[in-house]
Structure 1
Amino acid sequence: MLIQLAFVLIAIIIGARLGGIGLGVLGGLGLAVLTFVFGLEPTSPPIDVMLMIVAVIAAASCMQAAGGLDLMVKWAEKLLRKNPSKITILSPLVTYIFTFIAGTGHVAYSVLPVIAEVATETKIRPERPLGIAVIASQQAITASPISAATVALLSMLTGHGFDISLINILMISVPCTLAGVLAGAFYSLHVGKDLEDDPEFKRRIAEGEFKTEKYELKDVNNKKAAAWSVAIFILATIGIILFGSIESIRPVFNGTSLSMAYIIEILMLSAA
């Protein structure tokens, strides 16, 4: 068992270092070794979870193609630049909201360069807002109504003697993750030395190693279409919350309510 665990950890480390599709490829290789070498029987693939991820990514990709994601980043930039002194508190809230709406932490990447630039211009140590912003984007996955993690939990709790709905999960996950993110943000206010007192930062400035070029965001050509794409995506998310919270409004087939996995796939593809 220890050898199997070691092999799994090594495969994860190598895949993470490769980046991109490397993690998935090494996961497949790891599964092959565990099956054919160690003789472990694989479980059935999580088709529902995979299809949910595909549907959500399709909708998010269409929103990005319409300029919706770029518009959201511009809104975030405007908020952060208007309140630069509060960036350590605001940046995790921004990435949290991005992930909460989209169901994946990848959408928060676009705003990270803006956070770093605003923090540096305000002479705030960039690692303070950046560190907690990345953590917040991951915490929001467990609170997002359209994330695979939330729906997987809902499916596990349904039909096993638990009267649990999506709203019950969100009533716990949203305030708890927000409280944790805010606690981390306030703690981050005192992480490391201020830039003006950091000898390494002073050295890099003196030697010209530190560049202060302004990060240019991608321009949104059609703001009306971009705004509509964001609105449609949010409406689909609200629809998922309603179907997940009120079982009586779900379609019933052969005496069984339609699975939330199917509803998410249908609504997200329709939004796309």
Structure 2
Amino acid sequence: MFAAEFLVVILAMIIGARWGGIFFGMAGGMGLAVLVYGFGLAPSNPPINVMLIMTAVVLAAATLQTAGGMDVLVRVAERMLKRDPKHIVFFAPLIAWLFTFMAGTGNVLYNLLPVISEVSRETGIRPERPISISVIASQHAVPSSPISAATVAMVAFLAPLGVTYFDILVIIVPATLIGLFIGALSIYKKGLELDQDPEYQKKVAEGLFKDMDAGVAETKMKEASSKAKLSVAIFLISALAVVLIGTFPELRPHVTNAAGKSMTVGMTQMIEIVMLISAGLMVMFCSADPGKITSSSVFKAGMMGVVTIFGLAWMSDTWIANNLPMIKSEVAEIVGSRPYLFAIAMFIVSALTHSQGATVGAMVPLGIALGIDGHTLVAMYPAVCGYFIIPSTGVLLAGVAFDNTGTTKIGKWVVNHSYIIPGFVATFASVVAGFAIRYIFF
């Protein structure tokens, strides 16, 4: 029965991948129904804490976008890119990582991709190189960000094991940066130079870039308002507050509950409080329209992640809870001696779910059940960035669309695309670096 139940969990993920998006959560619910009705498993409690903490963070990020804060970040990033165009293969992913790290979402990359493409072309550098590694960098910045939905879910799961926000950042930030540098090196000379690329030269001969070179197609963004800048300040201060509160437990208030027992407010509640305050302040002082928040792209994408966590995490946790003795006796010893196997499993699940948050929700409870050390799970955390394998998500397709030179491609066999090499190299290097940092410092 153990194997059959596990097959149901895997099939639910595969079926979810067939339709994608919010359907992952629905597929998880269907799989849960099969486990309950078909195999008689008792459903576990749904991951309410994780869902609420993700909702609070998504709300704050969506409010930042509505207030114009995302545009401020993009404008600053554009200026940074144009300062040193010759080294764009290294600076573009660093900037993509940095601004995704600050925003907690990869949505900022959509506005950066056309800038990366044009700066590369004007400098004579094949745009495929900086675009591909920048997309991967944005994916890796999500687990690095203290305010991404995936990381707050990670904190919620690992806090009982004594893993703090600071622990996660100490491991994951340098690990992903090391991985991205190695990933950039792997594609530094990939493909033909533009002056030797026949496809690009054909477009030049047809005059497709004359308007751009003459500046006709150049667009200028309006100067950011003071309120938009204030929204960025509020959001970043909130992010810093979350990190500090997570690192120093004494900053959390001591309260007395209804039973008269003294207690310290939990980290999950503190994150929710800080993020709700952040969103509220941006509405009050930065002219963020509450009616537009729920229609923003950040809110829609974030809530899709919440629903995905709801279905997938509930299904997988139900399977884990009902098979815990079997899992510990049959699997724990193998994974304990070969933790990289669990990292590979996380990578595969992320490729199926196309979501770091969903992968965390589905796999981290299993890792905990297997007895994997909390800091070791953090070292594996970059493995949740495997959804570049199948280039069907928005940012991967946007990278292809914004490269008007045609160098960023999806190949005939789908998986032979521009992101595959930097994606594999950066993810592998990040996990290896994560393990090294974990064993050196923890």
Q: TM-score, normalised by structure 2?
A: 0.54
Aligned to 2:426: none
Q: Distance in 2 between matches of 1:212 and 1:255?
A: 69
- Tell me the equivalent position of 1:216: 219
Question: Contact between 2:8 and 2:31, CA under 8 Å: does it hold in 1?
Answer: no
Q: SS of 1:76's equivalent?
A: helix
The DSSP-based 3-state class of the residue aligned with 2:160 is: coil
How far did residue 51 of structure 1 move? 2.3
> How big is each residue's C-alpha offset from its partner over 1:54-99, in whole Å with a ceiling of 9 and x where there is no partner?
2222222222232221111111111111211111111111111112
1 CA distance for matches of 2:47 and 2:100? 22
C-alpha displacement at 1:102, in angstroms? Answer: 1.9
Residues 35, 237 of structure 1: CA spacing in aligned structure 2 closer, same or farther, 3 A cutoff?
closer
Q: Does 1:265 align with 2:272?
A: yes
Counterpart CA distance in 2 for 1:59 and 1:269 is 7
Aligned residue-pair number: 261
User: Does residue 178 in structure 1 map to residue 183 in structure 2?
Assistant: no
Deviation at 1:53?
Answer: 2.6
Shift of 1:159: 2.9
SS of the residue 1:159 aligns to: helix
1:34 matched to 2:34:
no
User: Offset at 1:185?
Assistant: 1.7
Instruction: Please state how far the C-alpha of 1:247 moved relative to its aligned partner.
Output: 0.8
The offset of 1:32, in angstroms, is 4.4
Matches within 5 A, 1:9-48: 9-15=14-20, 23-24=21-22, 26-37=23-34, 39=38, 43-48=44-49
Q: Distance in 2 between matches of 1:165 and 1:8?
A: 30
Instruction: Report the Cα distance in structure 2 between the residues aligned to 1:130 and 1:255, rounded to whole angstroms.
Output: 53
Which gives a bigger RCO, structure 1 or 2 (Cα 8 Å, sep 6+)?
2
CA 1:261 to 1:121, structure 2 compared with 1: closer, same or farther past 3 Å? same
Contact 1:59-1:233 within 8 A present in 2 as well = yes
Contact 1:146 1:264 survives alignment (8 Å)? no
Residue 197 of structure 1, CA deviation:
0.9
Task: Identify the match of residue 8 of structure 1 among 13, 16, 19.
Answer: 13
User: How many Å apart are 1:123 and its aligned residue?
Assistant: 1.7
Give ranges in structure 2 of 5+ residues lacking alignment. 256-260, 280-442
1:251 to 226, 250, 253: 253
Gaps of 5+ in 1: 16-22
Contact in 2 for aligned 1:99/1:107 (Cα 8 Å)? yes
Give per-residue Cα distances to partners, 1:1-37, cap 9 Å, x unaligned.
457634532431332xxxxxxx10x224423442445
* Residue number in structure 2 paired with 1:146: 147
Give the residue type in structure 1 aligned to 2:55.
V
Distance apart, 1:111 and its partner CA: 1.3
Shift of 1:103: 1.7
Residue 238 of structure 2 aligns with which residue?
236
1:108-119 to 2 correspondence within 5 Å? 108-119=109-120
AA at the equivalent of 1:197 = Q
Return closer, same or farther for 1:221/1:97 CA change in 2, 3 Å cut-off. Answer: closer
Instruction: Give, in whole Å, the separation in 2 of the partners of 1:3 and 1:46.
Output: 20
* Root-mean-square deviation over aligned CA pairs: 2.4
Q: Deviations over 1:90-140 (max 9, x none)?
A: 111111111211222223222112111211121211111111111111111
The 3-state SS of whatever aligns with 2:166 is: helix
For the residue of structure 2 that corresponds to 1:158, the secondary structure is helix
Cα displacement (A) at 1:209: 5.4
AA in 1 matched with 2:187 = S
Aligned equivalent of 2:166 = 167
CA contact (8 A) 1:76 1:111 kept: yes
Contact 1:151 1:260 in 2 (8 A): no
Letter in 1 for 2:31: L
Asked if 2 retains the 8 angstrom alpha-carbon contact of 1:92 and 1:181, the reply is yes
Q: Secondary structure at 1:266's aligned position in 2?
A: helix
Report the Cα distance in structure 2 between the residues aligned to 1:144 and 1:86, rounded to whole angstroms: 25
| TM-score calculated relative to the size of structure 1 | 0.85
Question: Partner letter of residue 87 of structure 1?
Answer: I
